[in-house]
Amino acid sequence: MMKQLIMVLAIAAIAGTAKAQNYFTRSGFVGFYSTTSQESVKAENKQVYAVIDPTKKALAFTLLVKGFLFEKELMQQHFNENYAESDKYPKASFNGTMEGNIGTAPGEYPVQVNGQLTFHGVTKPVTMPATVTIQQGKLSAKGNFTVKPEDYNITIPALVREKIAKEIKVQVQADCLPSK
């Protein structure tokens, strides 16, 4: 219950601004992709919680690591048990701000996102180009960046090192509705 309260309070820190219109989703998307000459790996999580405040240009994402689904059963098992250690570190989160003009009129607004990504118990700064789209009362945010597994204390065994890319591509998308 305490963790839930902390999570709700973190979101409230963004969502609680007076009269600001915040946007929220419980079904955002984060996918990561590793491509080498030996193997392609992809994992996708479609239960990403995101809140975006275009007025304050702030955003926060959080997800359950076990919600990353792989095409292969064994890969998913190894990811959770050996790499992400999802029993020990069940959640990942991102808190950040956006640089760039975000208008209130429908349209597409390019921004630069700067923030802190916490994964596997390690918090590191992340920057990424992103696009914020306002359309029909909805706000969509889309961006991508790369991470190195070793930056998050993830050790890849030598046996499979050549099968996993040195830099993992991460795609993020959140289609948010105005929060009530």
Partner 1 sequence: MSTKKIIFFAVVIVCLAVAAWGYRMYNKPRAGVADQQTDRTLSAAELYRLYAANEHAADSMFLGKVIAVSGVVQSVDQSQPNAPTILLETGAAGTINCSMQPGDSKPIKQGMQLQVKGKCTGFLMDVNLVDAIVLP
H or E element at residue 44: strand 40-53
Q: Should residue 163 be labelled a site residue for partner 1 when binding is judged by CB under 8 A?
A: no
Distance CA 154, CA 83 (A): 6
* Smaller CB separation from partner 1, 127 or 135: 135
Distance CA 103, CA 113 (A): 16
Q: In the 8-state DSSP scheme, what is residue 111?
A: E
Contacts of 38 (CB under 8 A, 6+ apart): 162, 163
Candidate residues 18, 19, 26, 136; the one interacting with partner 1 per rule CB under 8 A: 26
The site map against partner 1 for 58-97 (x = CB under 8 A) is ----xxx-xx-xxxxxx-x-------------xx------
Candidate residues 3, 19, 88, 180; the one interacting with partner 1 per rule CB under 8 A: 3
The residues that touch partner 1, with contacts defined as CB under 8 A, are 1, 3-4, 7-8, 25-27, 29, 46-47, 49, 62-64, 66-67, 69-74, 76, 90-91, 175
